[in-house]
Structure formats: structure tokens, C-alpha cells
Structure 1
């Protein structure tokens, strides 16, 4: 049986583990939020930022869903399918890595930029992106807030069955975790 996982806003929650962006595999980049620290994972960014040193968390490079992006994705899918059918031997043009987002971890020493793969194939709703940014900011408000918020996210992940909820439920969860 595979681990239950779900995407809620910019967060990827696998059982009790919380990631910003997609959970990395192999040596791929990722950012994990633990009760003790913000952890950079993957080649070249294996670093630990203890929460007591973290002054701020920001995220940039977040693709958001717009009507034009959705129309473009459908058009790209259609063109890609036609191109793949036209190529002899069925060679795929796909296979590129998903886009990256950047997590800025601010401390007294400055800002350390960690990267993670974007989990949402077609981008995030603007509301989910904004709520996620607010939640990341809230995690830096103090130990009590951090512990209760991360615990709520982890508990939800451990009890979740059935993958990623629909957008309305994801937005409601983010609001709930914001308190």
C-alpha cells in the first residue's frame, strides 16, 4: 500500500511530512518543514535552517492558474499530441522536468534560496497561492504557532485517505491552518 499524499496549496503532505512544492525523489530539489527546521533537500542544497534562526519565509516562481494559462495548456496538449502522433516511432517530446519554485529562508545572515519542484501541473489558484504564502509567514511568528500549525497539517496528512481534495476544500484547510 502506498503512502497517502495530498497537495494543499503550495504544500505537499505525505502522511505526517510537510513539503513546500513537490516531495523530492532521488537527488531532486525539495524543501521539507519539520518541527525543528526548514530542511533543504537534494544535490547542492542539503541544508538545515533551525526555526529559531528563521525570520521569514517567502516563495517566488509560483505559477498561478489564469484563464489564458488554462487555454494555453489545452492548446499545448493538443499540439503535443498531434506532434507525437506525427513523429515516426512515437518518440515523445515530453520528459522535461517540472518547473521550480524558490523558497527564500531569511535569517540574520541574509536570505538562503532553496528550490523545489512545482507540484501543481497546471499551476495553483491565486487564492491557494496567497493563502499558502500567508501560512508560511505565520510559521515564523513563534514556536507555539509553528508547533500547532505544523502539527495540524501533519495530523491531517496522517488521517487523509484518497489523495488531493478539491480546490474549495484545499482553500478551507489553508484558512483553518491560518487560524
Structure 2
């Protein structure tokens, strides 16, 4: 069971009202001013409103929004550092698979090739899909050069999937763009 709790109260004399004295009635009713809480927490924050200022409740709401985005969809980040923190483990896992089992020039090892094929399907392709979703959802954080890198990565990804999921071994597939390794590093 949940209740809709106002961060800044609907009335001008409720808990935390002084923090939003300049808000209009419609701004007080806006969903951005509403927090979903259990009845116990709703009562607790309203009775102890000095311990739960509006800023803290907004941070709770934002933390909850991000957690839901991660659990149920693709998160949108507010900084390049946050986005990099999300893509780095995926890139790292893929890099490890490639270093252990990836194709090498002039090395023809059936065991290595079998392991590569299995790990591409089980790890690399799912990670690539997540990476592409993250990068496309946060395209506004990318530089123009990084946007071009993501576009190249999308082609590489499609060709890798065609090879390993559909059996299309057409020669000339695009390799993983090295610039992906440093995507979202620095200020851009």
C-alpha cells in the first residue's frame, strides 16, 4: 500500500510549507512535487518535517527514479562520469572475453574459437546491446566524435550478431572501434 505525499504541502500551512512559499497551487499539485511513500513513512516525514527538508525528499525521489530506470529500463544520467561508470564494467567484461578467446591473426585454435563463439553469445552480445542502449539514451552527454564512434559501434554490433546468431559469415566485418574504450572519459 502506498500514499501520495507532497514534498511541499498542497496547503500553505502544512509541513515544509515555508520551503515552497513561492509555489503556486498548480506547482504544489504537480507530479514533480509528489513522492510515493508507505503510510508509516508519510506520517513520519510530515510529523518530523524539520528532519526531512524538501531537498532531502527530492533526493529520495531522484534516487528512486534512477533505481527504477536501472531496474526497468535504460537510465539517463546527468553527467559523463555517471554514464562512464555504467558503461565501463560492460566494456571491461567484453575486453576480458576478447583477450582470453578473441580471434588472433595467424592463430587457428579450435578450442579458442569455440570458447569465443560461446562467450560472444553469452556475454559480448548482451553487453553490447546494453551498451548501445545506454549510449543512445545518453547521447546528449557525448561529443560529436563520440556520437560517430557509437554509430560505428552499432554497425560492428549488428555485424557481430549476424555472424554469431544468424550464421552470416560475409567477409569484411567491421572490427570493434578502439575509441569505444575511452568513450565518456574526461569532460568531453
Give the TM-score taking structure 2 as reference length: 0.22
| Structure with the largest fraction of helix | 2
Give the TM-score taking structure 1 as reference length: 0.22
Larger relative contact order (CA 8 Å, sep ≥ 6) = 1
**Greater C-alpha Rg:** 2
| Structure with the largest fraction of strand | 1
